Every structure is written in structure tokens, then in C-alpha cells.
């Protein structure tokens, strides 16, 4: 599994300073380079994570490793939103073998 992750296209999602869903969606949209028509809601995020046609260049060929850092403050401030985000990530990973999501346990930098 480590070898598989080493070859993946890495995208870092830094949630440091994020306090609500709107900011979360803005950050993930920018990190994943999602198109302007990205709906900035949970369903749109789920669709984008599993739709390889909207993934960043290089990710389709190599697989995508999404590393989320600075997430703890958001999870503490908005636990219900974070629970939904985790569900979206889990379902996307379960249905998309090319996708891995990792939560960084250290600081955001």
C-alpha cells in the first residue's frame, strides 16, 4: 500500500482557519482545482471526488492522495459538518479505488 501511495498525485487541503461549510467548500474547490460550476455542497463534493474527469491533471493516471491538514479546529467548531465531510470522504474512497484521503495529525504547516 505504501508504494501505491508514493506514486499518487498529492493534493493538500489546508483547513487552517476554516470555520464554516462555505469556507470548507471554497478551500476544497481551490485545492482540487474544481470547475467554476462546482456546486459547493455535500452532494457536489461527493460527485467531484468520484468523477475522475474533474480531478487535477496527473491524478487520473496516478491516482489521487488528498491530504487534509489543519482540520481539527473545524471539526471541533462544526462537528456536524465535519461528520458529514468524513462520510463524504469515506463513501468516495470506498467507491473510487484511485482515491485516498488522509488526515494529517500535526499542525497545518
Per-residue pLDDT, 107 = 59
Q: Is the pLDDT of residue 21 over 70?
A: yes
32-69 pLDDT, tens digit each: 999 999 999 999 999 999 999 999 988 999 999 999 99
Per-residue pLDDT, 4 = 74
Per-residue pLDDT, 5 = 83
**What is the torsion angle, in degrees rounded to the nearest 10, for the CA atoms of residue 79, residue 85, residue 89 and residue 91?**
100
φ, ψ at 86 (rounded to 5°): -60, -40
Average pLDDT over residues 61-89: 97
Amino acid at each position: 500500500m505504501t508504494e501505491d501511495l508514493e506514486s499518487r498525485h498529492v493534493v493538500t487541503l489546508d483547513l487552517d482557519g476554516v470555520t464554516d461549510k462555505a469556507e470548507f467548500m471554497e478551500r476544497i474547490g481551490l485545492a482540487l482545482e474544481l470547475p467554476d460550476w462546482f456546486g459547493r455542497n455535500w452532494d457536489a463534493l461527493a460527485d467531484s471526488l468520484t468523477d475522475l474527469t474533474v480531478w487535477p491533471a496527473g491524478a487520473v493516471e496516478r491516482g489521487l492522495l488528498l491530504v487534509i491538514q489543519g482540520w481539527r479546529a473545524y471539526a471541533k467548531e462544526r462537528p456536524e459538518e465535519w461528520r458529514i465531510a468524513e462520510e463524504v470522504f469515506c463513501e468516495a474512497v470506498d467507491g473510487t479505488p484511485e482515491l485516498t484521503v488522509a488526515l494529517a495529525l500535526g499542525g497545518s504547516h
